Chain A
Amino acid sequence: AQSVTQLDSQVPVFEEAPVELRCNYSSSVSVYLFWYVQYPNQGLQLLLKYLSGSTLVKGINGFEAEFNKSQTSFHLRKPSVHISDTAEYFCAVSEVAGGTSYGKLTFGQGTILTVHP
């Protein structure tokens, strides 16, 4: 069974500062990895995903993440945050078997990013 741990429940940061949101996963098989963002009272929106290939993945809104297989991590980064980045961020994994994702996403507990002026 797969599991996801987001190491920080809350991350406060000042505007224009860099930020890293940490995510570790556990799985006995290959996985696909995702970061979703949830703005207040809204649904989830995909930020970026890792399926295969280059371990550095770039997403929307200037975010990027790096897949580290040896450390089973998929940390999310942004070099300079804006007030509008204030939201909750979820890391998720989907197990791959034979190159096919079954579609079951397992989510981490979420990290609340608060950007202060």
Chain B
Amino acid sequence: DTAVSQTPKYLVTQMGNDKSIKCEQNLGHDTMYWYKQDSKKFLKIMFSYNNKELIINETVPNRFSPKSPDKAHLNLHINSLELGDSAVYFCASSQETRSDTQYFGPGTRLTVL
């Protein structure tokens, strides 16, 4: 069973489009995260949610909006996609904000043309 899953694995789209990436974890964790890995492999946190509540919101354009319908899911919606949004997006989860081990999904490679 996949612990943290993301869909889709690959996403190719045109500039200006709106797209969503879905993340689900079956570990029973309370906290979920979104990270962005750029072309130089640099990983940076974007958001984190704890029990559907936003707790970390880094300096991310308003075009990015996370949504957590329940604590097992954290989706990432991106409006008006730009070339610079091309990256690999990783979802992760941990037991709670006090926990120190984050479990990562396989990533979604977004390419904006």
Residue numbers of A with Cβ under 8 A of B are 32, 34, 36, 41-46, 49, 51, 88, 90, 94, 100-107, 109-110
Contacts and interface: CB of A to CB of B under 8 A. Distances in A.
B55 to A, nearest CB: 8
Contacts of B33: 103
A102 to B, nearest CB: 6
Interface string B81-113: 000000000101010011111111111000000
Contacts, number: 61
Contacts of B31: 103
Chain B residues touching A, range: 20 to 34
B102 A109 contact: no
22 contacts: A36-B104, A42-B106, A43-B90, A43-B106, A44-B104, A49-B100, A51-B100, A101-B100, A102-B97, A103-B31, A103-B48, A103-B55, A103-B97, A104-B45, A104-B48, A105-B45, A105-B102, A107-B44, A109-B40, A109-B41, A109-B42, A110-B41
What's the dominant secondary structure at chain B's contact region?
Answer: strand
A102 B4 CA distance: 20
Contacts of A102: 55-56, 97
Nearest to B41: A110
Interface in B50-65: 50, 55-56
Contact of B101 (A49, A90, A104, A107): A49
B43 interface: yes
